[in-house]
Homo-oligomer: A and B are copies of this chain.
Amino acid sequence: MDNRISVFGTGLMGSAFVRALLRSGFEVTVWNRTPERCAPLVSEGAILAQSPVAAAQATDTLLFLVLDQDAVEELLSGIDVSGRRVINYVTGAPADGPRIAELVTKAGGQYLDAAIAAYPDDIGQEGALIYYAGSRSAWNQVQDVRAALSGLSPYVDENPGAANVMDAAWVACFHCVALGGFHEAMSFALGQGVSIETIAGGVDHFLGLLRDIMFEAVETIKSGDFSTDQATLDVYLAGTSTMLKAMVDSGERASLMAANVANLETASKAGHGPQSLFAQLLTMRA
């Protein structure tokens, strides 16, 4: 591909994309529903397109960073994607990718679905991660674009929904749930008079413990052997139930704690109590 690229949508994330691409020497055409929002980017070297059609005609590689999947589909219905690469960076559900992929490929274009697991500030950095799924050929062709945006840009699967699956699993589920758990923990400890400094002193230690047990979980799932000679699922259930009661008694809502105890109860009732904590995986489907 040549070094010309079009970016649809210049919000926080779109603007971070445009700046990273300009820094890497791309000629970047930008379009935004509110054109005034593009002014700072234009002053930094971006080219303003007067319409979506003009933005699409300017280049062969179209990046979408608009509000939602409806906005992506509306834009795609009005432009010619034949012979072009469409990369959809908008957070969506796993079912969105396959639907939009069909639309693009029927019109003669190539489709890549992407899921950004990074903050706008991290775009262009070594440590930033963006998952890609869909056309492997398009993924290969845009290697320079990927490299300009994030140090990590793995290809997950041909299923265009797979990037959003990884995003849902890691960002929406693990990251947000773990951060929520930290907030429930802080709310309780602060309410009991522990200082924020004393709490902060535990962050690295407990992230180390968490890393160990996450890799232990992975190995256990690979082996399929959920037996244990360490604390059993029932021991964790008893301990977390006691602590849940203490938190609720002291005025905390403790919603995540309650949901976790409920998950362990479900696993215990299904007979996994004497097994390892990782056996909770076996009863997580409705």
Enumerate chain A interface residues (CB-CB to B < 8 A): 12, 91-95, 117-121, 127, 129, 152, 154, 156-157, 159, 161-162, 164-194, 196, 198-211, 213-215, 217-218, 221-222, 229-231, 236, 239-240, 242-260, 262-263, 266, 277-278, 280-281, 284-286
Contact = CB atoms under 8 A, between A and B. Distances in A.
Nearest to A191: B285
B286 A240 contact: no
Given A117-B209, A193-B157, A180 B242 contact: no
Contacts of A244: 172
B278 A170 contact: no
Given A165-B189, A207-B210, A252-B285, A230 B179 contact: no
B213 A156 contact: no
A108 to B, nearest CB: 28
B218 A12 contact: no
Given A12-B231, A222-B196, A253 B174 contact: no
A187 B284 contact: yes
A184 B239 contact: no
Given A95-B246, A252-B284, A179 B215 contact: no
